[in-house]
Amino acid sequence: QLRYCEEVGLKAIVGMDTSLDNTAGVQLDETDYSSFPAVDMINVWDEPYGNVFEDCAKRIDRLNEIYDNNMTLYVNQSPYNPLSATTLTDNETFLNKVYDELLSKMPGRKIFSTDVYPLLESYGSYELDTGWLGKMEAYANFTKKYRSEGAEFHMFIQSYSDDRRRDILSKDDITFQVYTDMAFGINGFTYFTYRKSFLGGFGGGCVENDVSCKPTEVYYWAQETNEAINKFDHVYLSFDWNGVMGVNGKNNVADDPEYENASFMNLATPLKELDCAKSVSATEDTIIGQFKDKDGRDGLMVTNFSEPTTGLRDVVSFEFKKANRAIVYRNGERKIYEVKKNKLDLKLACGEGVFV
């Protein structure tokens, strides 16, 4: 498979098939994968509990020896902050432990990675995981804290369904997740699952799980999304994330003056204002990530935060402090907008985000 990846120009992450508290007793695979140019990195352990960090750290040390510190390693973390199978802790305690005991041992890239699959179904109704944004904010803040040490932020994108998570119904479900994650400064993302799971109760996936690996609709929606992101990611990645703001939609507030988006309420350190703007408002709930580049220029990732199946269109209105032009990347395409009297309105379809 790795030789085939090399032939077609794909990069691969090698998984060690070790997860949680490793009750299966999986031993470290000490194969030297450096002879395979397609190998981009190694996933040492998936969602380890805190009580196996010592074992995980020893594996990291051994892999550093095998690869002479020249292989990118990463450990994907559980969003539930487990210290053991029965004990959870808070974000700060867990992520400090992750960095101190695991990531600090990794030369070069230090990847904060987790998985929140936010598209839920409950009693026939579609809803969002209200803990999603708060979890990403915690990871984004830790990435910011250790940015000078090589920290990055990686998220998984839901492309599957189970008894709690709903089916992926359209491309909007994909773009909604990606653009929302980008408002928290992610450096990369991975679809889960790529291949439809063999386990009972799981649906979705980008390709079928038989030998044909026939692409599903999700495959083509993901492909289109990737192509759009690839057109402007060099611009986005040249900016550093420094905060996020939730804007409650005017239409929701009009119906209920005390309305507050439940997901926004779980943000621990939301921005109260934007560096570049006097004010911002939106017709629907909107998430805005704030960025700066090395020259001090402002960037904004603006995403319509309406549940993707609602079809709600959003108008986000900015009054900037000083601007006469705005460069906007929409669906990967660059367009320059004239800003009159420091004011700019951006129209966003459901599931849409733009980088400004």
Q: Write down the pLDDT at residue 211.
A: 85
Q: Write down the pLDDT at residue 200.
A: 82
Q: Integer distance in angstroms from the first to the last C-alpha of the chain?
A: 40
Share of the chain above pLDDT 70, in %: 100
Higher pLDDT, 198 or 87: 87
Q: Write down the pLDDT at residue 198.
A: 86
Q: Residue 4 and residue 9: Cα distance in Å, rounded?
A: 8
With b meaning 16 or more CB within 10 Å and e meaning fewer, what string describes 53-68? beebbebbeebbebbe
Q: Average pLDDT of 247-266?
A: 97
In this prediction the pTM is 0.96
Q: Write down the pLDDT at residue 245.
A: 98
183-to-29, 121, 127, 188 alpha-carbon distances in Å: 36, 24, 20, 12
Q: Write down the pLDDT at residue 117.
A: 98
Q: Do residues 155 and 114 make contact, with C-beta atoms less than 8 angstroms apart?
A: yes
Q: Write down the pLDDT at residue 81.
A: 98
125-to-31, 93, 120, 166, 196 alpha-carbon distances in Å: 47, 35, 8, 10, 24
Q: Residue 136 and residue 156: Cα distance in Å, rounded?
A: 11
Q: Average pLDDT of 81-91?
A: 97
pLDDT tens digits for range 223-236:
999 999 999 999 99
Q: Average pLDDT of 321-333?
A: 97
Q: What is the chain's percent helix, strand, coil content, to nearest 5? A: 30, 30, 40
> Given the structure tokens 């051994």, which residue do they identify?
62
pLDDT-derived band of residue 37, with 50, 70 and 90 as boundaries?
very high
Q: Write down the pLDDT at residue 141.
A: 98
DSSP string, 3-26: HHHHHHT--EEEE---BTT-TT-P
Q: Is the pLDDT assigned to residue 1 strictly greater than 90?
A: no
Q: Is the pLDDT assigned to residue 238 strictly greater than 90?
A: yes
* CA 182 to chain CA centroid, nearest Å: 7
Q: Write down the pLDDT at residue 10.
A: 87
pLDDT tens digits for range 330-347:
999 999 999 999 999 999
> From start to end of 68-218, where are the E strands?
73-77, 110-114, 119-122, 125-128, 151-158, 160-161, 188-192, 203-204
pLDDT tens digits for range 149-185:
999 999 999 999 999 999 999 999 999 999 999 999 9
Q: Locate all alpha helices (DSSP H) within 237-308, ordered by sequence.
A: 250-255
Q: Residue 104 and residue 236: Cα distance in Å, rounded?
A: 26
Q: Which tokens belong to 256?
A: 């209920």
pLDDT tens digits for range 88-127:
999 999 999 999 999 999 999 999 999 999 999 999 999 9
pLDDT-derived band of residue 199, with 50, 70 and 90 as boundaries?
confident
Q: Residue 125 and residue 73: Cα distance in Å, rounded?
A: 40
* CA 261 to chain CA centroid, nearest Å: 20
Please, what sign has the CA dihedral across residues 158, 163, 168, 173? negative
Q: Average pLDDT of 196-210?
A: 89
Q: What does the mean pLDDT of the chain come to? A: 96
pLDDT-derived band of residue 201, with 50, 70 and 90 as boundaries?
confident
Q: Is the peptide bond before 216 cis (omega within 30 degrees of 0)?
A: no
| Residue at 323: amino acid letter | A
According to DSSP, the residues that pair with 15 across neighbouring strands are 43
Per DSSP, 167 falls in state P
Q: Residue 186 and residue 310: Cα distance in Å, rounded?
A: 26
Numbers of helices and strands, H then E, in the chain: 7, 19
